[in-house]
Amino acid sequence: MTERDEATHTTFWKTVTGACGTPTDRRNNRRIVAWALAWAVGLTLAAQTLKGRIFHLEAGSWEAWVVALVPVVVCLGFIHAYLRFVRGTDELQRLIQLQALAVGFGAGVLLLLHWELFEFAGMPAMDPSDAAMVPVFAWIVSQLYFTWRYR
């Protein structure tokens, strides 16, 4: 499909993003999503493997270290894809990304600095990996909101 055909063709991705950005922006954004999904799957599989739920690895073995490092490498691919997207996009997309990152960072700081107070008030203790997901989800939701806002 040519860029002209892609510009006039309505896809699920164009609907979700409000058709914001160029076809190249949307293609780069799909790369980000693919890397993020690969990272999430890799992180989950590595955690389950290292906890002994998939198969048993001896802690400290080279195999355990390889399993632990695989999601790190995939995360580097995600970061590279995100930087490629931001570098190649227009000012509006950069504004959307900056605002979404600010909301995600703010949500993370708010949660991490106040969760102990919530625990004293009766909330259960939070797992650090759960806490790390709050800024990620805030960033994702903020991207959708700001994309919709500037459509």
Q: What is the pLDDT of residue 22?
A: 78
DSSP character at residue 1: -
Query: Is residue 100 helix, strand or coil?
Result: helix
Q: What is the pLDDT of residue 15?
A: 58
Residue by residue, pLDDT tens for the chain (151 residues) are: 566 655 556 666 555 555 566 788 878 888 888 998 999 899 999 989 998 888 888 888 999 999 999 999 999 999 999 999 999 888 888 999 999 999 999 999 999 888 889 889 998 888 877 788 899 899 989 988 998 888 7
Q: What is the pLDDT of residue 77?
A: 95
DSSP character at residue 49: H
Measured CA to CA, the distance from residue 37 to residue 105 in angstroms comes to 21
Query: Is residue 88 helix, strand or coil?
Result: helix
DSSP character at residue 151: -
The residue extents of the domains of the chain are 1-6+21-89, 90-151
Query: Is residue 112 helix, strand or coil?
Result: helix
Instruction: Give the pTM.
Output: 0.73
Residue 146: which of 87, 104, 83, 110 has the closest Cα? 104
Measured CA to CA, the distance from residue 12 to residue 15 in angstroms comes to 5
